[in-house]
């Protein structure tokens, strides 16, 4: 497959690993802030190929992990309401709310439909004028223009039975919260390549300067990740702290202006609660006043929910790189991929799920 | 707890954690396995079931027979490359082949929903007839029931089959030995993607075709050529990864697979990339893996490659004794990752 | 967050309903899908576009797609492209 296979090339990967080994002189910890990058690292076994001095931490870069529990519960409530067709990306289907998840709601009669695109959800709304169609808009800035487009079209075409439950989050405020934590042990960041395809790279400069950390905008294939790691390590070894771009084939410093215009048109910046981390000001997107009628929280008269008790899940500490999954007393005991207590155990790129698989293999090897 | 007591079974695993059946219980992953282990095998324990293979093997009057059953609930009933009828015939034929048996006779029980179109039923039956002829089996007995509207998804089919084992002994996961070579008969992922695309209205052009086909021919060719077959299995729901994990766990061996050796067709590759799906977990209906002794791998691959259904047959891995019960994938870039069973069906993702 | 896949734009259908409804046919390794091109107004047939959830979010710069680790070892890649080495 063009423009994909080249970045899964064995020879190129080996070259990158060679360059990294020759470069590194001391231990460094790098955090990647995108579930897609975590996925690539786990899928291709990258972390175990890197020299032992290099530690990769998985950050809060996945909407599965950071969408607040209350939002999942709201989604379930709406999905179980009469005459509702609840549409969502597949990622959210198994994320636990307080008691259950969307897939289990489907077992109880919710009309849940998993879609590839919010535009498909809009099509469902056109085809079912007598039903309320709600789309669960989760994701970072990469996905915001896409969901914005759906609402924009709904308004233009007067598709009154369409609404969105919006839980978008923004990356830079999350990175700032992590960098501000006194316990943070992160030396450098790989920034989310597709987020930057939309937003550009400028907003990472103040973070890099203020906190003195290198930030490398990185793609998602193994060679991309290895190149990004190399560039980050090079800055660390040279004592630099700048924003650099590995993903040059898809990211320009100015991002995608048309996409950003759509975000500005439809959304406004709002405070957002991050699961496991807490409230971060100005870290989310909500519908702007002009599009308020399409807000599912308003349409279904959902009140503000109190923050759910965190329970035993220490996902916040894991997502910020302060604790490792194995530090959690429930890891592998009451919390497993079949019975997740929190979000990082649910998705294949959740830090806890990734560690769980490796742990299972090592345990079998030892027995 | 009263339900568990009524079942009269010792239930070591907490299936009471799920008061209701979920779709995941049918997807072939961990929940399916838990259900089978803790409810069915626990209730009906006997040597044939303990083998945990695709069919039961037993001997009557000196003749070795294989017996299998399977139910088909695929939605939509018609998809590119096949339909629920041909699938029902080939699926059962293939399970018999996985025991090393020559498929002979099949039964078919149909459960029809009130309102199902007669023309659709005629298409299904015609398809079953053609499939039976192609597979060389006779449909000798059957049953038909009708349930009220809303009580069944159009059409469900159960088929059972009987075959005769002429050559080969103990073809099952417990026959796998360290040193065995793992052969895959062709490219993976077609059936699952074809059905998902048809069901979810994902339009790929050209439409991805299911690989549904009878694979008894190539299997019997291997047996006739004197290849010692330790284990055979068709990677249906749950995909190649799930099948290999099942075999590793049942046999207590370790299986190492080379990702670069596993063929994936271009359309399946493209569709999986777009939806964020892993072809290793996508169902197949015309493929099988064979475990043969070290040294027989090349010969077996060559024999298979001579059959039009197995043109892309190749060696994809080997069996070791460690780590026991684990499937390890050597990734494209030389890394490694453990293949596990999924908890439920693989879902398209955006992240 | 961010599964986006590169595909080749093989045809562009009309945009009578406006640039936000401009649809392209994009080929991904043997399958073709309709993709909304609203956020890639500069895309032309033959370009590779990056597709996320049914929309193209960028046109891939093929000239810059050939970057190897050797290139990186030899140069600097700050976002504005200013070389330092």
pLDDT 10s digits, A98-111: 888 898 899 889 99
Q: Which residues of C touch B198 (CB under 8 A)?
A: none
Coil, strand, or helix at residue A328?
A: coil
- Best mutation target among A7, A250, A348 (most C Cβ atoms within 10 Å) is A250
| More reliable by pLDDT, A117 or A305 | A117
User: Distance (Å) from the C-alpha of residue A200 to the closest C-alpha of chain B?
Assistant: 19
Last residue of a domain, one of B148, B165, B182: B165
- The verdict on a CB contact (< 8 Å) between B274 and C1 is no
Q: Does C10 touch chain B (CB under 8 A)?
A: no
- List domains and CATH numbers for chain A: 1-315 (3.40.50.11740), 316-366 (no CATH)
Considering chain B, what is the average pLDDT of its residues?
A: 90
Coil, strand, or helix at residue A249?
A: coil
Q: Does C52 touch chain B (CB under 8 A)?
A: yes
Distance of CA A177 to the CA centre of its chain: 15
Asked if the model's pLDDT at residue B9 lies above 50, the reply is no
Provide the 8-state DSSP code for C66.
G
Exposed e or buried b per residue across A167-198, where buried means at least 16 C-beta atoms within 10 angstroms of its C-beta: bbbbbbbbbbbbbeeeebebbbbbbbbbbbbb
Nearest to B333 among A10, A89, A367 (CB): A10
Based on the domain organization, do B128 and B69 belong to the same domain?
yes
- The verdict on a CB contact (< 8 Å) between B331 and A36 is no
Closest to A40 in 3D by CA, of A190, A179, A173: A190
Maximum separation of any 2 CA atoms in chain C, in Å: 49
Q: Which CATH architecture has domain C5-74?
A: Roll (2.30)
Confidence grade of residue B118 (pLDDT, cut at 50, 70, 90): very high
Of the ranges B19-23, B42-46, B153-157, which one carries the lowest mean pLDDT score?
A: B19-23
Q: Which residues contact B158 (CB under 8 A, 6 or more apart)?
A: B69, B70, B71, B72, B88, B108, B109, B111
Confidence grade of residue C79 (pLDDT, cut at 50, 70, 90): low
- The verdict on a CB contact (< 8 Å) between A360 and B338 is yes
d(CA A306, CA A309): 9
Read off the CATH number of the domain in which B277 is found: 3.90.650.10
Of the ranges A217-231, B46-60, B119-133, B318-332, which one carries the lowest mean pLDDT score?
A: B46-60
Structural domain boundaries in chain C: 5-74
Helix, strand, coil content of chain C in percent (nearest 5): 15, 35, 50
Tell me, yes or no, whether B58 lies in a domain. Answer: no
Residue A129: the pLDDT is 97
Please answer whether residues C32 and A249 qualify as being in contact, where contact means their C-beta atoms are separated by less than 8 angstroms. Answer: no
Residue A334: the pLDDT is 82
Closest to A236 in 3D by CA, of A184, A189, A283: A189
Chain B with chain C: Cβ pairs closer than 8 A? 45
Based on the domain organization, do B153 and B105 belong to the same domain?
yes
Asked if the model's pLDDT at residue A78 lies above 90, the reply is yes
Coil, strand, or helix at residue A175?
A: helix
Q: Does B263 touch chain C (CB under 8 A)?
A: no
Q: Does C3 touch chain B (CB under 8 A)?
A: yes
Based on the domain organization, do B187 and B328 belong to the same domain?
yes
Coil, strand, or helix at residue A271?
A: strand
- CA separation, residue B96 to residues A196, B133, C71 (Å): 53, 16, 56
Return the partners of chain C (3 or more C-beta pairs < 8 Å): A, B
- The verdict on a CB contact (< 8 Å) between A364 and B350 is no
Residue B200: the pLDDT is 77
User: Distance (Å) from the C-alpha of residue B276 to the closest C-alpha of chain C?
Assistant: 7
User: Distance (Å) from the C-alpha of residue B209 to the closest C-alpha of chain A?
Assistant: 19
Confidence grade of residue A358 (pLDDT, cut at 50, 70, 90): low
User: Which residue range forms the structural domain that includes residue B291?
Assistant: 173-339
Mean pLDDT for the stretch of residues A14-26:
95
Confidence grade of residue A361 (pLDDT, cut at 50, 70, 90): low
| More reliable by pLDDT, A318 or B3 | A318
Cβ atoms < 10 Å from Cβ of A245:
27
Bridge partners (DSSP) listed for residue A362:
none
pLDDT in tens, A259-304: 999 999 999 999 998 887 889 999 999 999 999 999 999 999 877 6
Nearest to A2 among C4, C8, C36 (CB): C8
- Best mutation target among C79, C82, C84, C85 (most A Cβ atoms within 10 Å) is C79
d(CA C53, CA A63): 15
Nearest to C53 among A117, A140, A202 (CB): A117
User: Distance (Å) from the C-alpha of residue A91 to the closest C-alpha of chain B?
Assistant: 5
Of the ranges A87-91, A177-181, B209-213, which one carries the lowest mean pLDDT score?
A: A177-181
Residue A148: the pLDDT is 98
Asked if the model's pLDDT at residue B218 lies above 90, the reply is yes
Q: Does C42 touch chain A (CB under 8 A)?
A: no
Provide the 8-state DSSP code for A344.
G
Read off the CATH number of the domain in which B75 is found: 3.30.1330.10
Q: Which residues of A touch B326 (CB under 8 A)?
A: 361, 364-365
Asked if the model's pLDDT at residue A37 lies above 50, the reply is yes
- The verdict on a CB contact (< 8 Å) between C54 and A119 is yes
Q: Which residues of B touch A107 (CB under 8 A)?
A: 20-23
Q: Which of residues 8-27 of C touch A (CB under 8 A)?
A: 8, 20
Residue B17: the pLDDT is 67
d(CA A118, CA A122): 6
Chain A with chain C: Cβ pairs closer than 8 A? 145
Residues in chain A: 367
A268 is written with which tokens?
């406004």
Last residue of a domain, one of B137, B165, B193: B165
Q: Which residues contact B276 (CB under 8 A, 6 or more apart)?
A: B348, B349, B350, B351, C3
Q: Which residues of B touch A358 (CB under 8 A)?
A: 338
Instruction: Please work out, in degrees rounded to the nearest 5, the angle formed at the alpha carbon of residue B301 by the alpha carbons of B297 and B305.
Output: 175
What pTM did the predictor assign?
0.91
User: Distance (Å) from the C-alpha of residue C53 to the closest C-alpha of chain B?
Assistant: 7
Coil, strand, or helix at residue A191?
A: strand
* Cis, bond preceding C49 (omega within 30 deg of 0): no
Mean pLDDT for the stretch of residues A159-168:
97
Residues in chain C: 85
pLDDT in tens, B236-272: 999 999 999 999 999 999 999 999 999 999 999 999 9
> Hunting for tokens 């929903």 — which residue is that?
B113
pLDDT in tens, C50-66: 999 999 999 999 988 88
- CA separation, residue A320 to residues A57, A177, A354, C28, C45 (Å): 9, 9, 16, 36, 43
Closest to A361 in 3D by CA, of B338, B248, B343: B338
Full 3-state SS string of chain B: CHHHHHHCCCCCCCHHHCCCCCHHHHCCCHHHHHHHHHHHHHHHCCHHHHCCCCCEEEEECCEEEEEEEEEECCCCCEECCEEHHHHHHHHHHHHHHCCCEEEEEEEEEEEEECCCCHHHHHHHHHHHHHHHHHHCCEEEEEEEEEECCCCCCCEEEEEEEEEEECCCCCCCHHHCCCCCEEEECCCCCHHHHHHHHHHHCCCCECCCCCCCCCCHHHHHHHHHCCCCCCEEECCCCCHHHHHHHHHHHHHCCEEEEEHHHCCCCHHHHHHHHHHCCCHHHCCCCCCCEEEECCCCHHHHHHHHHCCHHHCCCEEEEEEECCCCCCEEEECCCCCEEEECCCCCCCCCCCC
Residue B18: the pLDDT is 76
- Best mutation target among C24, C30, C51, C55 (most B Cβ atoms within 10 Å) is C30
Cβ atoms < 10 Å from Cβ of C12:
14
Residue A354: the pLDDT is 73
User: Distance (Å) from the C-alpha of residue C14 to the closest C-alpha of chain A?
Assistant: 17
Asked if the model's pLDDT at residue B298 lies above 80, the reply is yes
Distance of CA B145 to the CA centre of its chain: 26
Please measure the distance between the N-terminal and C-terminal CA atoms of chain C and give it in whole angstroms: 33
- The verdict on a CB contact (< 8 Å) between C31 and B276 is no
Return the partners of chain B (3 or more C-beta pairs < 8 Å): A, C
Please answer whether residues C30 and C43 qualify as being in contact, where contact means their C-beta atoms are separated by less than 8 angstroms. Answer: no
Residue A105: the pLDDT is 93
Asked if the model's pLDDT at residue A77 lies above 70, the reply is yes
Mean pLDDT for the stretch of residues B123-128:
97
Exposed e or buried b per residue across B334-350, where buried means at least 16 C-beta atoms within 10 angstroms of its C-beta: bbbbbbbbbbbbbbbbb
* Cis, bond preceding C67 (omega within 30 deg of 0): no
Nearest to A250 among C41, C54, C60 (CB): C60
Instruction: Please work out, in degrees rounded to the nearest 5, the angle formed at the alpha carbon of residue A24 by the alpha carbons of A23 and A28.
Output: 140
d(CA A187, CA A185): 7
| More reliable by pLDDT, A66 or B210 | B210
Based on the domain organization, do B334 and B185 belong to the same domain?
yes
Please answer whether residues A97 and A342 qualify as being in contact, where contact means their C-beta atoms are separated by less than 8 angstroms. Answer: no
Based on the domain organization, do B37 and B87 belong to the same domain?
no
Q: How large is the C-alpha radius of gyration of chain A?
A: 21
The percentage of residues in chain A with a pLDDT greater than 90, rounded to a whole number, is 66
Mean pLDDT for the stretch of residues B56-85:
94
Q: By CA distance, what is A193's nearest residue in C?
A: C2
Confidence grade of residue C76 (pLDDT, cut at 50, 70, 90): low
Highest mean pLDDT among A161-175, A353-367, B189-203, C68-82: A161-175
Coil, strand, or helix at residue A231?
A: helix
Nearest to C69 among A61, A118, A230 (CB): A230
Nearest to C33 among B204, B350, B351 (CB): B204
Q: Does A206 touch chain B (CB under 8 A)?
A: no
Q: What are phi and psi of B257, to 5 degrees?
A: -120, 140
| More reliable by pLDDT, B344 or B138 | B138
Closest to C60 in 3D by CA, of C5, C2, C1, C14: C5
Please answer whether residues B325 and B250 qualify as being in contact, where contact means their C-beta atoms are separated by less than 8 angstroms. Answer: no
- Interstrand relation of A84-88 and A188-192 (parallel, antiparallel or unpaired): unpaired
Q: By CA distance, what is A109's nearest residue in B?
A: B22
Residues in chain B: 351
Confidence grade of residue B341 (pLDDT, cut at 50, 70, 90): confident
Q: How large is the C-alpha radius of gyration of chain C?
A: 16
- The verdict on a CB contact (< 8 Å) between B349 and A90 is yes
The percentage of residues in chain B with a pLDDT greater than 70, rounded to a whole number, is 95
User: Distance (Å) from the C-alpha of residue B177 to the closest C-alpha of chain C?
Assistant: 38
Of the ranges A187-191, A306-310, B275-279, B290-294, which one carries the lowest mean pLDDT score?
A: A306-310
Q: Which residues of C touch B266 (CB under 8 A)?
A: 29-31
User: Distance (Å) from the C-alpha of residue C73 to the closest C-alpha of chain B?
Assistant: 20
Residue A337: the pLDDT is 76
Q: Does B206 touch chain C (CB under 8 A)?
A: yes
- The verdict on a CB contact (< 8 Å) between B273 and A4 is yes
| More reliable by pLDDT, B203 or A335 | A335
Q: Which residues of B touch A332 (CB under 8 A)?
A: none
Domain count, chain B: 3
Nearest to B333 among A8, A139, A339 (CB): A8
Q: By CA distance, what is B201's nearest residue in C?
A: C33
Provide the 8-state DSSP code for C75.
S
pLDDT in tens, A320-332: 777 878 888 888 8
Nearest to C39 among A89, A250, A256 (CB): A256
Q: What is the DSSP string of A37-70?
A: HHHHHHHHT-TTTS-TTEEEEE-S--HHHHS-HH
Asked if the model's pLDDT at residue B3 lies above 60, the reply is no
Mean pLDDT for the stretch of residues A211-235:
96
d(CA A206, CA A175): 11
User: Distance (Å) from the C-alpha of residue A365 to the closest C-alpha of chain C?
Assistant: 33
Q: Which residues of C touch A198 (CB under 8 A)?
A: 57
Considering chain A, what is the average pLDDT of its residues?
A: 90
Nearest to B274 among C1, C2, C28 (CB): C28
Residue B6: the pLDDT is 30
> Hunting for tokens 């390590």 — which residue is that?
A233
Q: Which residues contact A357 (CB under 8 A, 6 or more apart)?
A: A42, B337, B338, B340
Last residue of a domain, one of B113, B144, B165: B165
Closest to C52 in 3D by CA, of A196, A161, B194, A252: A196
Tell me, yes or no, whether B346 lies in a domain. Answer: no
pLDDT in tens, B92-112: 999 999 999 999 999 999 999
């Amino acid at each position: 497959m063009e423009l994909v296979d080249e970045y899964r090339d064995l020879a190129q990967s080996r070259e990158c690993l060679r360059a990294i080994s020759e470069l590194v002189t001391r231990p460094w910890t790098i955090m990647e802030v995108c579930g897609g990058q975590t996925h690539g690292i786990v899928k291709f076994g990258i972390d175990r190929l890197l020299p032992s001095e290099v530690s990769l931490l998985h950050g809060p870069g996945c909407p599965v992990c950071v969408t607040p529990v209350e939002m999942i519960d709201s989604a379930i409530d709406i999905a179980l309401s009469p005459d509702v067709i609840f549409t969502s990306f597949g990622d959210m289907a198994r994320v636990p709310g307080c008691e259950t998840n969307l897939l289990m709601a489907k077992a109880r009669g919710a009309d849940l439909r998993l879609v590839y695109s919010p535009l498909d959800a809009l099509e469902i709304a056109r085809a079912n004028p007598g039903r309320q169609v709600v789309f669960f808009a989760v994701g970072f800035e990469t996905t915001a223009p896409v969901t914005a487009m759906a609402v924009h079209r709904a308004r233009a075409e007067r598709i009154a039975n369409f609404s969105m439950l919006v839980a978008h989050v923004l990356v830079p405020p999350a990175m700032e919260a992590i960098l501000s934590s006194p316990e943070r042990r992160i030396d450098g960041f790989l920034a989310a390549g597709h987020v930057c395809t939309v937003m550009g790279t400028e907003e990472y400069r103040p973070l890099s300067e203020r906190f003195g950390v290198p930030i490398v905008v990185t793609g998602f294939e193994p060679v991309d990740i290895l190149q990004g790691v190399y560039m980050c390590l090079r800055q660390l070894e040279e004592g630099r702290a700048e924003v650099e771009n590995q993903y040059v084939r898809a990211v320009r410093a100015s991002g995608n202006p048309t996409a950003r215009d759509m975000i500005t048109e439809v959304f406004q910046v709002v405070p957002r609660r991050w699961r496991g981390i807490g409230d971060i000001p100005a870290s989310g997107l909500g519908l702007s006043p002009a599009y308020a009628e399409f807000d599912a929280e308003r349409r279904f008269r959902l009140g503000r929910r109190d923050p759910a008790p965190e329970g035993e899940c220490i996902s916040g500490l894991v997502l910020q790189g302060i604790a490792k999954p194995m530090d959690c007393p429930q890891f592998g005991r009451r919390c497993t991929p079949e019975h997740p207590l929190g979000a990082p155990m649910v998705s294949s790129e959740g830090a806890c799920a990734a560690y769980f698989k490796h742990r299972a293999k090592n345990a079998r090897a030892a027995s | 707890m009263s339900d568990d007591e009524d079942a009269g079974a010792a239930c070591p695993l907490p299936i009471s954690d799920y008061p209701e059946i979920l779709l995941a219980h049918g997807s072939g992953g961990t929940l399916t396995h838990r259900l089978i282990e803790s409810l069915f095998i626990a209730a009906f324990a006997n040597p044939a079931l303990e083998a945990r293979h695709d069919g039961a093997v037993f001997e009557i009057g000196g003749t070795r027979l294989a017996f299998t059953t399977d139910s088909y609930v695929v939605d939509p009933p018609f998809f590119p490359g096949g339909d629920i009828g041909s699938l029902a015939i080939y699926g059962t034929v293939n399970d018999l082949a996985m025991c090393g048996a020559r498929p002979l006779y099949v039964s078919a029980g149909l459960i029809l929903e009130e309102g199902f179109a007669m023309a659709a039923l005629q298409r299904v039956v015609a398809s079953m007839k053609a499939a039976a002829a192609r597979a060389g089996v006779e449909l000798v007995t059957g049953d038909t029931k009708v349930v009220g509207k809303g009580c069944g998804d159009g059409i469900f089919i159960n088929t059972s089959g009987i075959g005769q084992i002429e050559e080969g002994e103990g073809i099952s996961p417990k026959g796998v030995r360290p040193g065995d070579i793992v052969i895959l008969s062709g490219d993976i992922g077609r059936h699952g993607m074809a059905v998902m695309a048809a069901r979810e209205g994902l339009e790929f052009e050209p439409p991805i075709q299911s690989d549904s086909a009878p694979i008894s021919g190539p299997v019997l060719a291997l047996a006739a050529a004197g290849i010692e077959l330790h284990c055979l299995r068709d990677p249906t729901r749950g995909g190649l990864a799930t099948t290999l994990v099942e075999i590793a766990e049942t046999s207590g061996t370790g299986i190492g697979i080379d990702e670069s050796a596993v063929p994936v067709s271009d359309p399946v590759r493209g569709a999986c990339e777009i939806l964020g799906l892993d072809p290793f977990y996508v169902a197949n209906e015309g493929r099988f893996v064979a475990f043969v002794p070290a040294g027989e791998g090349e010969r077996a691959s060559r024999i298979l490659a001579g059959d039009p259904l197995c043109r892309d047959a190749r060696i994809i891995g080997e069996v070791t004794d460690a780590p026991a019960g684990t499937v390890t994938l050597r990734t494209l870039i030389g890394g490694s990752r453990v293949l596990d069973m999924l908890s439920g069906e693989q879902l398209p993702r955006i992240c | 967050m961010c599964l986006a896949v590169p595909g080749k734009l093989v045809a562009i259908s009309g945009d009578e309903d406006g640039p936000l409804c401009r649809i392209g046919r994009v080929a991904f390794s043997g399958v073709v899908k309709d993709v909304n091109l609203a956020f890639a107004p500069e895309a032309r047939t033959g370009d590779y576009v990056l597709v996320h959830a049914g929309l193209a979010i960028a046109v891939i710069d093929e000239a810059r797609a050939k970057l190897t680790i050797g290139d990186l070892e030899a140069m600097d890649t700050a976002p504005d492209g200013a070389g330092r080495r």
